[in-house]
Amino acid sequence: MKFKLIFIFTLLLLAISGNKSISQNKFSKTVYQTSPISALFKGFDNDSFTIAQIKKHGDFGLGTFNGVNGEMIILDGKVYRADYKGDISLPDNSWQSPFVTEIYFHADTSISLKDTLSLSSLENFINKIFPSKNIICAIKIEGLFNNVKYRSEKKQTAGYKDLTEVLKHQFTYIMNNIKGTMVGFYYPDYLKAVNAAGYHFHFISSDKKSGGHILGLMTKNIKIQIEFAKNIEIRVPSTEGFYKMNLQN
């Protein structure tokens, strides 16, 4: 436990030290986060970090918008929003977000797969590709899917609920025989206060009309690309709401 705390503290120091952000180097293999996910889980749903700022730290990633107003998908440098109907739009650069995970994506390995796999089977397949389960990985999967089940949410009002309560009112959809891209990350368990441990995937269709947070799927003919991250940079929010949160447990 002592080693884990020291490691996480070191990562936080990395985020706040120095005059030059690591993520300014597009080839540094650095994952950038705007806040720890533990804050989002406890109701930190409103921050000042804009889409314009998001675009300066990566071209591939996921997150949400203030008030948990839909699901965010960052792909090829564009920031998309999947609303509670599952419809995709391109929000203005002034939109703000309480939580984003992103990277400048440069795949280290690529594998084509024609097997029919469920989401859990797909994750088990990817596990065998990792050089270690102790590193962060960015994962891009594109192609044809037999079906994809995903969710999104309506915007919350002031007096934000914790994420568990918000997701009790999520909207879910199933799309069959659909082409698209899965945008996701794998985080090791020892970073579970920083980001969701294990896999986290969002989906966007090839025609950029539908998408959301993936709940389940069946693959058909896909290409898996993985980048093995070497660094993580975490921005510590400077809002009153964040300062007053109890994140000690």
CATH of the domain at 38: 3.30.1330.80
Summarize the confidence of residues 190-216 as an average pLDDT: 96
C-alpha–C-alpha distance, residues 15 and 177, integer Å: 42
| Residue 30 within any structural domain of the chain | yes
| Residue 93 within any structural domain of the chain | yes
Note whether 56 and 115 are same-domain residues: no
Note whether 139 and 236 are same-domain residues: no
pLDDT digit string, tens, across residues 109-144: 999 999 999 999 999 999 999 999 999 999 999 999
Q: Which residues pair with 182 in a beta bridge?
A: 141, 203
| Residue 224 within any structural domain of the chain | yes
Q: Check residue 210 and give its pLDDT.
A: 97
Q: Check residue 83 and give its pLDDT.
A: 97
Summarize the confidence of residues 55-62 as an average pLDDT: 97
Candidates 187, 206, 183; CA nearest to 196 is 187
Q: Check residue 159 and give its pLDDT.
A: 63
pLDDT for residue 226 is more than 80: yes
pLDDT digit string, tens, across residues 135-186: 999 999 999 999 999 999 988 876 666 777 777 778 999 999 999 999 999 9
> Residue 30's CB: how many other CB atoms inside 10 A?
23
Note whether 113 and 148 are same-domain residues: yes
The size of the chain, in residues, is 249
How many domains, in total, are found in the chain? 2
More confident residue, 187 or 5: 187
pLDDT for residue 4 is more than 50: no
| Residue 249 within any structural domain of the chain | no
Beta-carbon contacts of residue 47 (< 8 Å; ≥ 6 apart) = 34, 35, 66, 96, 97, 98, 99, 237, 239, 242
Contact yes or no for 90/78 (Cβ under 8 A): yes
Residue spans of alpha helices (H) in the chain = 2-16, 37-41, 51-54, 119-127, 163-167, 240-243
Helix (H, G, I), strand (E, B) or coil at 7: helix
Note whether 224 and 236 are same-domain residues: no
Q: Which domain holds residue 180?
A: 109-228
**What is the percentage of the chain residues whose pLDDT exceeds 90?**
73
| Residue 126 within any structural domain of the chain | yes
pLDDT digit string, tens, across residues 68-82: 999 999 999 999 999
pLDDT-based confidence at residue 41 (cuts at 50, 70, 90):
confident
| Residue 134 within any structural domain of the chain | yes
pLDDT for residue 66 is more than 60: yes
Note whether 224 and 118 are same-domain residues: yes
* Strand ranges (E), the chain: 30-33, 49-50, 60-64, 71-75, 78-82, 88-89, 96-97, 100-103, 109-113, 137-152, 171-187, 198-205, 211-228, 231-234
Note whether 90 and 16 are same-domain residues: yes
pLDDT for residue 96 is more than 50: yes
